[in-house]
Amino acid sequence: MNHRFKLDHSLLIILIIFALILRVGMALKFPNIFWADEIFQSLEPAHRLAFGNGIVTWEFRDGIRSWVLPGILAGIMRLTAWMGKGSTGYLIGINIFLSLLSLSNILIAYLWGKKIGGTITAFICAAICTIWFELIYFSPKAFTEVVATHFLLPGVYLGVEKQISPTRNSLFLSGCLLGISLAFRIHFIPAIVFAVVYICRKDWREKWLPIMLGIIAPILIFGTIDAFTWSYPFQSFWLNIWVNIVEGRSKLYGVSPWYEYLIFLLKSWSWLSLPIIILALIGSRHSPILVWLVLIIILSHSLLAHKEYRFIYPVLPMVMILAGIGTGELVLNLSRRWVSHKKTLIAILLCLLLWTSISIALLSRFNIYSPLKFSTFGTNLENTHLFATTNNLLALQSLSTENTVCGLGLWGIHWALSGGYTYFHRDVPIYPVDKAADFEKLKPGFNYIVANISVPSQYQNYTLQKCWQGTCVYKRPGSCRQIIDRDINYVLKKSGN
C-alpha cells in the first residue's frame, strides 16, 4: 500500500512539474495575443492599478467588467516586478501565476481517471491534459473563461465524487468553486445550474443548502466589490448582459452562425476530431456529467451571436479527460489479455507517444482563423497563433527598459494588437498615427515609433533601432511636447472603443 501510495503521488508530482514548465516556457518563448481581451480586459487595467497608467477601453469606462481579476493580477505584478527589468519581471510572474492555476486541470484529470480506472487511467488522463497543445497555449492567458474553468472542474469533481463523504464541508467547497467560476464567467450559468441539479438530484434536501451557500458566498464578494469599484452592487454582471446581449454591442465584433464552434473544433483538430470524439464517447460511459457539460457549454454559447473559440475553453479539458478515460479503458482491456506488466507499460508509453505526436502535429497548424483544411501538419509555424502579434509585443517590451522614451507613436499598428502599457510599461503618452498626414501634427509628441510599415521618407530624423520580423523601432533625437487630445485614451474615448 505504501509503495503504491508513493508511486501514485510521484507520478502526479512529475506530471504537474512538467506541465508547469511547459506552460510557462511556451508563454515566455512565444509571447502572443490570441484575442485583445487577454490584455485590455485584464492585464491592462491591472497595470493601471499597479503602476498608475494603462489604456482604458469602453468596458472599463462603462463599468461592465469586474475589477476582481485585474485586482488580483495587479497584486501579482507588484509582487513579481523584481524578477526582471521593465515589463519582463511581472510578465514572468503573471505567466507563472496563471499557469499554476491551470494545474487544477491536471489534478482533476488524475483524480477522475483514478476513480474510474485506477493508476493507469489516472496517469493517462493527466498526461494527455499535460501535453495537449490547446491547454498549454491557453493556460497562461488572462481570459476570464480560462480562469473560471480552473475552478469549474474541481467544483464539479468535488460534487460528484462518491468516495468523498458528502459532508456539508465538501459540498460547501464544491459550491464555492462553482460560484467563483460563475462570478468570473456569468455565461457558464447553464452549465453550473445543470451541475448543481446533477449533484443534488436524489438528495436535494440534504445537499442543496451547503452547495447553494457555497455558490452564493463568492457571488456576494464579487457583487460587493462592484459596489465599491462601480456605482451599483453586481453591476458588472447585469450591465454586461444588458449591453452585450440586449443592446447587442458584442455583435459589432462579429456575428457567426450557430454551428461556428463545431467549425472551430474542426479547424483546430482537423480529421483527428474523429478518433478524439470516439475515445471521448468511450469514456463518457463512465462520466456522463462531463459529456452533458460539454454539450450544454457549446449549445448555450451557440445561441449567442458573437462567438469566439476561447468562450468554450472548458470543453477542451473535459473532452481530454473523457478521451483519456477512453484510452485508459483500451489499455486496461489489452493488459488483461497480456497479463505481462512489461507489455502493459509498453502500451501506455505508445499511447502517450501517440497523443504527444498528435498534439505537436496539431500545434504546427493551430490557427482557427484560417480556412478549414483537413491536414495533419502545418507548413509554417509563424502562421499559427504562437506567433500572433509577437513582433509588436517584443518591440514594446524592448522599450520598457528605455529611459529616453518621452512619447511613443504607433505607425501601422492597431492599438489592440500592440500589447499596451502592459508590455510598454513607460509612463509616457502613446499616440496612434493612422495617416501620413498625422505625422506632422503628432511627431512633436513622440521620440520613438513602433511601426510595421516604413516611416515616411521626409522624416529621416527617425533612425532605425531594431526590427522583429517586420515590426521596427525608430528613434529621433530631442524631447517631446504633449499633444492635447490626441493620446490613445482620448482617441478611444472619443471613438467609443
Task: Give the pLDDT confidence of 17-30 residue by residue, as tens digits.
Answer: 999 999 999 999 99
Residues 6+ apart with CB under 8 A from 242: none
Tally of helices (H runs) and strands (E runs) in the chain:
21, 5
- Single-letter residue type at 424: F
Element containing residue 450 per DSSP (H, E): strand 448-451
State the residue for C-alpha cell 445537499.
Answer: 207
Beta strands in 245-364 (DSSP E): none
Structural domains of the chain ordered from first start: 1-30+63-364 (no CATH), 390-495 (3.40.190)
| Strand order across the beta sheet in which 448-451 lies | 430-433, 408-411, 448-451, 471-475, 463-468
pTM for this prediction:
0.94
Q: According to the model, what pLDDT value does residue 2 have?
A: 47
Low-confidence ranges of the chain (pLDDT < 70): 1-7, 162-166, 338-339
Gap between the Cα atoms of 382 and 30, Å rounded: 10
Q: According to the model, what pLDDT value does residue 455 have?
A: 86
* Nearest-10 crossing angle of helices 315-338, 341-363: 150
How big is the CA angle at 193 (ends 192 and 194), to the nearest 5 degrees?
90
Task: Give the pLDDT confidence of 391-441 residue by residue, as tens digits.
Answer: 999 999 999 999 999 999 999 999 999 999 999 999 999 999 988 888 888
Q: According to the model, what pLDDT value does residue 343 have?
A: 78
Q: According to the model, what pLDDT value does residue 168 have?
A: 79
Q: According to the model, what pLDDT value does residue 496 have?
A: 86
Phi, psi of 472 (to 5 degrees): -125, 155
The answer to whether 120 and 344 are in contact (CB under 8 A) is yes
